[in-house]
Amino acid sequence: MGISRRDFCRTVAGSAASVAVLSMMPGTLLAKWSDKAFTANELDAAIAAKYGSQPIEDSTAIEIKAPEIAENGAFVPVTVSTTIPGVTNLSIFTPANFNPLVASFDVLPRMKPDVSFRMRMAKTSNVIVIAQAGGKLYRATREVKVTIGGCGG
């Protein structure tokens, strides 16, 4: 279980580097953030803002790995992967959150459609993943129960 410090990769996070990045960072990157989708309060509105209104097909080719009962809603580990060919985007939604869109991953040419992260869940709800491939949308759903922490330490 012990992770040797030697395994940690060298990281550079100097302030000079940050400044350099800020000036290099094209304004378009900031503008590109899907603000309408992220600020939508309803699931359907968030999906429509992200992808436009079009039919969504349920798919078993999307796998959502998430706990049945989350230990804590502040840190719910989620892994999303798919075998749908030509997938270009994977987005994760949860309708019970104030803003249902949680994160959106572009699946770039060299990247595998397989990502993990930790998300917040306000309460027991579904985790909904939409995969975009060849202009079509696919969906998978998984329920995660959220309880409140107390005596588990």
Partner 1 sequence: MMNNKILRRLMPAALMVSAVMVARPAHATDYQKLVDADTQAFQSYFQKEFPEVKLADFANGVYALDEDARTQWQEMEEFPPYELDVEAGKALFNKPFANGKSLASCFPNGGAVRGQYPYFDEKRGEVVTLEMAINECRVKNGEKPWPWQKGDLAKVSAYMAYISRGQKVDVKVKSKAAYDAYMKGKKFFYAKRGQLNMSCSGCHMEYAGRHLRAEIVSPALGQTTHFPVFRSKWGEIGTLHRRYAGCNKNIGAKPFPAQSEEYRDLEFFQTAMSNGLEYNGPASRK
Partner 2 sequence: MKIKASIQNNVTSVKMLIPHPMETGRRKDQSGALVPAHFITEVTATCGGDTVFHAELGPGVSKDPYLSFQFDGAKAGDMLSVSWVDSKGESGKGEAAIAAM
**Residue 68 near which of partner 2, partner 1, none (CB within 5-8 Å, type-dependent):** partner 1
Cβ atoms of 40 and 49 closer than 8 Å: yes
Residue 136: CB minimum distance to partner 1, A: 30
Q: Which amino acid is at 138?
A: Y
User: Scanning residues 43 to 102, which ones bind partner 2 (CB under 8 A)?
Assistant: 74-76, 79, 94, 97-102
Which residues does residue 82 pair with via DSSP β-bridges, in sequence order? Answer: 62
CA 129 to chain centroid, in Å, comes to 8
Dist. CA 65–CA 39, nearest whole Å:
25
Q: Is 8 in the site for partner 2 (CB under 8 A)?
A: yes
Closest Cα to residue 76, out of 149, 150, 2? 149
Q: Is 143 in the site for partner 2 (CB under 8 A)?
A: no
**Closer residue to partner 2, CB minimum distance, 9 or 69:** 9
- Applying CB under 8 A, the residues found at the interface with partner 2 are 7-13, 17-18, 20-22, 25, 29-30, 32-34, 38, 74-76, 79, 94, 97-106, 108-112, 114-120
